[in-house]
């Protein structure tokens, strides 16, 4: 406990170091887990009807890895994956790591411009893709991006707009001209290629890059964060250790694989402990998630707060037996105390933990313990992770006293190598090993951290510093408010003014006037939002982070249309 308290009454904390870091690559971690429990269940893809033991999973991973080698994918090559949560995604994650390729996770919601940007930014030689997902026709998008596909050699594409891309592997039975079927790649795994696998894996180093993840887009400016085996193996191990996950657990993963939550904290975290992975479907759906937990007797569940809110609000919630649940993680946004109380009571997740981090730190830096008191679980993001060092700094980079608000900086094994091919932005983000998170935080005397907002989100109104998180937390105290986001807009008189978007709880009849009156009676006048809008939903990233830049743009456009 004591080694996670602030140093010298300053907002500077260091994680425990009594348990050494793992110095293993991803293939080594998987091999160790498989050897210890080959016949135990490893992965269940409910929607696809797939169920693998650890031995079966490892065999499928090796088939794909050997097939990729046969196709010419080499160590260090960037392999993109553009797909929702499918079994092929999991195989690609571990097969690319097996041969030292760098997995590039592409947001399933990306359209043609964003896909082109991602592939070219990191120079993907290979793309593994689903045929389609929701309203996105991936095959049609790829045909538009690469018209050369119609006549191309499937193993040597040569597309003008994505010149580094040599091959596209497509999941499913439909294999358009110029592409290679995913199942056909599995069939390429001849004895020669399989024999090469161990030799290639033996050349890997824990500090080799293994994953490039694009920042989630809350600012509209994605960057490719480059993560190593050492980064994500140890973070996955620490996250699941804090949850006290073991091989007896069954972890339900409805969060997307393309993000750290799904692929590091989720699948890789399960591998470090030998826990079974249960994937309800391609994308989050409250009913399929609840059904998967009940049917598969899951003991742990992941989600962002809005996922838990929709699960709890499902009309048939009481028909699902969730008594097997014990733990899980809620991350991605702040959790209202009432939601946490319901998750613990109605979903039986008495040991649910809160986690905080960012893509660039692999991702988790702070996490609550399973036995932390409720007030700490909802008002903070827990305490610093093992082998991680964090501090809260002021405008000049000085470490601030305990209880003072400033920017959170993080240092340790978890900090990324950098933004791929972008030394300038890397140097701007990382100074002397410290990752400047851009998040405002307060660390208390016990070492608990409260994330209070974004540095760039701070509103300066007529000389007053206003922190949106403070107003959002206040709005959550209204009994009819389910979600709230606060942001600033330029104003000729005050410099900036406060705006709030609010989502009502359930069928509540909520008006802008009611919210304004509620604020005026309880908070300082300069914090009362000048503009309030009631919305059915808020723009979010796939991982549940609010996109304030979109709210700001829409609000500015709306006000610009108004007369006068």
- Paired sense of beta strands 300-303 and 250-252, if any: parallel
Give the H/E segment covering residue 80.
strand 78-82
φ and ψ at residue 201, rounded to 5 degrees: -60, -35
What's the pLDDT at 533? 96
List the structure tokens of 9: 């009454």
Distance from first CA to last CA of the chain, Å, rounded? 59
Instruction: Please identify, among 187, 214, 241, the residue that sits at the C-terminal boundary of a domain.
Output: 214
Residue 321: φ, ψ to 5°: -85, 105
Q: Can you tell me the distance from the alpha carbon of 89 to that of 84, in angstroms, rounded to the nearest whole number?
A: 8
Whether 444 maps to a domain, the answer reads no
Give 2's pLDDT tier (boundaries 50, 70, 90). very low
- pLDDT: which is higher, 333 or 16: 16
What is the per-residue pLDDT for 239? 98
> Which CATH number goes with the domain that contains 537?
3.30.300.30
> What is the extent of the structural domain holding 468?
458-561
- pLDDT at residue 21 is higher than 70: yes
Q: Report yes or no: 126 and 80 within 8 Å, Cβ to Cβ.
A: yes
Predicted confidence (pLDDT) at residue 219 exceeds the cutoff of 70: no
Helix/strand/coil for 310: helix
In a domain, 396, yes or no: no
- For residue 410, being part of any structural domain is answered with no
How far is the C-alpha of 289 from the C-alpha of 255, rounded, in Å? 10
**E strands of 314-447, at which residues?**
327-331, 351-357, 364-367, 383-384, 388-393, 406-412, 418-419, 430-431, 434-443
Three-state DSSP at 406 gives strand
Please name the helix (run of DSSP H) or strand (run of DSSP E) that holds residue 128, with its range, or none. strand 124-129
Q: Tell me if 434 sits within 8 A of 410, measured CB to CB.
A: yes
Reduced to 3 states, what is the DSSP secondary structure of residue 366?
strand
Q: Which of residues 561 and 195 earns the better pLDDT score?
A: 561
pLDDT at 415: 98
User: Percent of the chain scored above 90 by pLDDT?
Assistant: 81
Tell me what the pLDDT averaged over the chain comes to.
Answer: 93
Residue 110 has a pLDDT of 85
Instruction: Report which of 285, 291, 293, 288 is spatially closest to residue 310, judged by C-alpha positions.
Output: 285
Q: Percentage of residues in the chain with pLDDT exceeding 70?
A: 98
pLDDT score of 9 more than 60: yes
Q: If you average pLDDT over residues 237-253, what whole number do you get? A: 98
Cα 344 from Cα 368, distance rounded (Å) = 14
Residue-level pLDDT at 216: 55
Q: Cβ of 91: how many Cβ atoms within 10 Å?
A: 23
The per-residue pLDDT for 492 is 83
Q: Is residue 372 one of the residues assigned to a domain? A: no
Rounded Cα–Cα distance for residues 391 and 78 (Å): 34
Q: Does the structure show a pLDDT above 50 at 475?
A: yes
- Asked whether residue 536 is domain-assigned, the answer is yes
Q: Is the pLDDT of residue 356 over 70?
A: yes
CATH number where 199 lies: 3.40.50.980
Give domain status of residue 18, yes or no: no
217 pLDDT exceeds 70? no
- The CA angle 67-258-276, to the nearest 5 degrees, is 75
3-state secondary structure of 214: strand
Residue 521 is predicted with a pLDDT of: 85
Number of residues that make up the chain: 564
Domain membership flag for residue 85: yes
Contacts of 85 (CB under 8 A, 6+ apart): 253, 254, 256, 257, 262, 279, 281, 282, 283
Look at residues 214, 243, 260 and tell me which one is the last residue of a structural domain: 214
Strand duo 531-534 + 209-214: pairing: unpaired
Q: pTM of this prediction?
A: 0.87
- Residue 402 and residue 423: Cα distance in Å, rounded? 33
pLDDT at 4 over 50: yes
Predicted confidence at residue 71, as pLDDT, reads 95
β-bridge mates for residue 106, sequence order: 82
d(CA 298, CA 310): 19
Q: Which residues pair with 533 in a beta bridge?
A: 501
pLDDT in tens, 283-301: 999 999 999 999 999 999 9
Please give the average per-residue pLDDT across 6-25, as a whole number.
97
- Tell me if 198 is assigned to some domain: yes
List, for residues 481-517, the tens digit of each pLDDT value.
Answer: 999 999 999 888 888 899 999 999 988 999 999 999 9
78 — alpha (psi -120 to 50), left (phi > 0) or beta? beta
The alpha carbons of the chain give a radius of gyration, in whole angstroms, of 24
> Given a cut of 90, is residue 195 above it in pLDDT?
no
Give the pLDDT score at 220.
47
Of 214, 232, 265, the domain-final residue:
214
- 13 pLDDT higher than 70: yes
Asked if 170 and 129 touch (Cβ cutoff 8 Å), the reply is yes
**pLDDT band per the 50, 70, 90 thresholds, residue 218:** very low
Q: What is the pLDDT of residue 1?
A: 41
pLDDT digits (tens, 9 = 90+) for 295-349: 999 999 999 888 998 999 999 999 999 999 999 999 877 777 888 999 999 999 9
- The answer, yes or no, to whether residue 204 has pLDDT greater than 60, is yes
CA-to-CA distance for 437 and 429, rounded, in angstroms? Answer: 8
What tokens does 273 get? Answer: 């402990």
Predicted confidence at residue 40, as pLDDT, reads 98
Domain total in the chain: 2
Question: Which region among 174-183, 231-240, 451-460 has the lowest average model confidence (pLDDT)?
Answer: 451-460
């Amino acid at each position: 406990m004591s080694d996670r308290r602030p140093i010298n009454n300053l907002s500077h904390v260091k994680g425990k170091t009594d348990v050494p870091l793992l110095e293993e690559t991803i293939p080594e971690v998987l091999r160790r887990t498989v050897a210890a429990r080959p016949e135990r269940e490893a992965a269940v893809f409910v929607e696809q009807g797939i169920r693998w033991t650890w031995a079966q999973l490892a065999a499928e991973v090796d088939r794909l890895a050997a097939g990729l080698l046969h196709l010419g994918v080499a160590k260090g090559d960037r392999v993109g994956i553009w797909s929702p949560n499918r079994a092929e995604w999991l195989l690609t994650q571990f097969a690319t790591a097996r041969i030292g390729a760098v997995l590039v996770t592409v947001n399933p919601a990306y359209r043609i411009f964003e896909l082109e940007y991602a592939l070219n930014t990191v120079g993907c030689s290979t793309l593994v893709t689903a045929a389609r997902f929701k309203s996105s026709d991936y095959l049609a998008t790829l045909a538009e991006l690469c018209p050369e596909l119609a006549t191309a050699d499937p193993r040597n594409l040569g597309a003008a707009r994505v010149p580094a891309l040599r091959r596209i592997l497509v999941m499913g039975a439909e294999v358009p001209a110029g592409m290679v079927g995913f199942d056909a790649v599995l069939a390429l795994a001849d004895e020669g290629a399989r024999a090469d696998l161990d030799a290639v894996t033996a050349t890997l180093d824990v500090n080799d890059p293994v994953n490039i993840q694009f920042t989630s887009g809350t600012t509209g400016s994605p960057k490719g964060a480059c993560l190593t085996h050492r980064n994500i193996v140890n973070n996955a191990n620490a996250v699941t250790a804090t949850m006290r996950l073991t091989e007896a657990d069954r972890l339900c993963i409805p969060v997307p694989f393309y993000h750290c939550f799904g692929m590091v904290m989720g699948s890789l975290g399960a591998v470090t402990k030998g826990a079974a992975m249960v994937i309800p479907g391609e994308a989050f759906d409250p009913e399929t998630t609840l059904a998967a937990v009940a049917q598969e007797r899951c003991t742990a569940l992941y989600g962002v707060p809005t996922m838990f809110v929709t699960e709890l609000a499902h009309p048939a919630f009481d028909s699902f037996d969730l008594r097997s649940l014990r733990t899980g993680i809620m991350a991605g946004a702040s959790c209202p105390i009432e939601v946490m109380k319901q998750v613990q009571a109605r979903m039986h997740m008495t040991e649910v933990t809160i986690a905080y981090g960012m893509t660039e730190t692999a991702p988790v830096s702070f996490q609550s313990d399973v036995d932390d008191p409720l007030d700490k679980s909802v008002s903070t993001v827990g305490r610093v992770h093992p082998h991680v060092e964090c501090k809260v700094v002021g405008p000049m980079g000085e470490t601030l006293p305990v209880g003072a608000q400033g920017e959170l900086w993080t240092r340790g094994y978890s900090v990324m190598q950098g933004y791929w091919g972008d030394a300038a932005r890397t140097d701007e983000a990382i100074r002397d090993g410290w990752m400047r998170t851009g998040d405002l935080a307060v660390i208390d005397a016990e070492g608990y951290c409260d994330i209070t907002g974004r540095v760039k989100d701070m509103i300066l109104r007529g000389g007053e510093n206003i922190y949106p998180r403070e107003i959002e937390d206040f709005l959550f105290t209204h009994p009819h408010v389910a979600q709230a986001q606060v942001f600033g807009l330029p104003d000729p008189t005050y410099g900036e003014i406060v705006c709030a978007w609010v989502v009502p709880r359930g069928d509540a009849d909520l008006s802008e006037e009611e919210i304004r009156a509620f604020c005026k009676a309880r908070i300082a006048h300069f914090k009362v939002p000048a503009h309030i809008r009631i919305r059915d939903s808020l723009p979010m990233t796939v991982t549940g982070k609010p996109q304030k830049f979109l709210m700001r743009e829409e609000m500015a456009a709306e006000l610009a249309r108004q007369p006068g």
